[in-house]
C-alpha cells in the first residue's frame, strides 16, 4: 500500500480543513511548491493535489497546479472541480499522472464511462462519503445514495481507482472509517484509496490489512502527528 500526501490548494496556499468545513481551516502554508518539494524530499513517491476553490466554485488554482506539475518528479493525481473533458485533457497534458473526477462523474455516469474509455487507467473517481452517503459539490450536497451502490455501478469501467474520503473523519486525527473502507475495497474491482482521518502508522497498517491500495494523508502529516520519514519508509510505494 502506498501513502500519498495531500496538497490541498485554497487561494494560492496549501491548507488543511477540519471535517470538510471551509470555516475550519487549521493549516495554511503560503508556498505550495515548497510543500510539494518537501514531500518528495522525505521519500514519498506519489502526491494528491486538489483545487478546493475549483471544487466549490470559489475560484481556480490552475496556474499554480501547472507550476507544481512542471516542478515535481513523482506521479501526481489531480482533482477538484474537474467537470469537463477540456479540463481533464488540460491536466493530463500538463503532466498529471491521473485526474480525479467527483461530482459530475457521480451525477452523469454516461460522461464518466466515455471519459474512462478514452483515458483507461488515468481516471480516478472520488466518492466523498458522510456516514455511507455520497456527497458532491465540495461536500455541500448529500445524496440519498449508498457508497456500495455506487461502487457496484462503477465496476467494469477501466478506472485508475476509486478515492473514498470519509468526510465525517476528515481532519480530525481520530482514525479513519475502517468498516467503510473495508466494505468498499471488498466490493470494488479496481484499486481503492482511502482518505479522511488517517492519524497513525497503525491506521495505515489496518488499511493495508483490509486490502486498500493506498491512503491519502493530510492533517496528520502537516501537524506532525505522523513522522513523514517513518511513513515514507514503510508506505512510500
- 182 Rama sector, left if φ>0, alpha if ψ -120 to 50, beta otherwise: alpha
CA distance 204 to 2: 9
Entry field: residues in the chain: 237
Out of 8, 51, 53, 177, the active site residue is 8
Name beta bridge partners: 169.
Answer: none
Distance spanning both ends of the chain, measured CA to CA: 7
CA distance 169 to 14: 20
Task: Please work out, in degrees rounded to the nearest 5, the angle formed at the alpha carbon of residue 9 by the alpha carbons of 8 and 14.
Answer: 75
CA distance 234 to 237: 8
CA distance 27 to 136: 23
Catalytic residue at 8?
A: yes
CA distance 30 to 33: 9
Cβ 232 vs Cβ 20: under 8 Å: no
Out of 53, 71, 85, 128, the active site residue is 128
Q: Which of 23, 1, 5 is nearest to 140 (CA)?
A: 23
Q: Which residues are catalytic?
A: 8, 128
Amino acid at each position: 500500500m502506498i501513502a500519498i500526501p495531500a496538497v490541498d490548494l485554497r487561494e494560492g496556499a496549501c491548507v488543511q480543513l477540519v471535517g470538510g468545513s471551509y470555516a475550519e481551516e487549521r493549516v495554511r502554508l503560503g508556498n505550495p511548491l515548497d510543500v510539494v518539494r518537501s514531500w518528495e524530499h522525505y521519500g514519498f513517491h506519489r502526491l494528491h493535489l486538489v483545487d478546493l476553490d475549483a471544487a466549490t466554485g470559489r475560484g481556480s488554482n490552475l496556474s499554480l497546479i501547472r507550476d507544481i506539475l512542471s516542478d515535481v518528479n513523482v506521479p501526481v493525481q489531480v482533482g477538484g472541480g474537474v467537470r469537463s473533458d477540456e479540463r481533464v485533457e488540460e491536466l493530463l497534458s500538463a503532466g498529471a499522472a491521473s485526474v480525479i473526477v467527483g461530482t459530475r462523474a457521480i451525477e452523469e455516469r454516461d460522461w464518466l464511462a466515455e471519459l474512462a474509455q478514452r483515458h483507461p487507467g488515468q481516471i480516478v473517481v472520488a466518492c466523498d462519503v458522510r456516514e455511507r452517503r455520497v456527497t458532491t459539490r465540495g461536500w455541500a450536497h448529500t445524496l440519498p445514495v449508498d457508497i456500495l451502490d455506487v461502487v457496484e455501478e462503477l465496476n467494469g469501467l477501466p478506472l485508475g481507482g476509486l478515492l473514498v474520503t470519509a468526510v465525517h473523519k476528515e481532519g480530525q486525527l481520530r482514525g479513519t472509517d475502517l468498516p467503510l473502507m473495508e466494505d468498499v475495497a471488498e466490493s470494488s474491482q479496481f484499486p481503492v484509496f482511502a482518505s479522511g482521518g488517517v492519524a497513525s502508522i497503525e491506521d495505515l497498517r489496518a488499511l493495508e490489512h483490509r486490502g486498500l491500495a493506498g491512503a491519502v494523508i493530510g492533517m496528520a502529516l502537516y501537524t506532525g502527528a505522523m513522522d513523514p520519514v517513518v511513513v515514507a519508509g514503510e508506505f512510500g510505494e
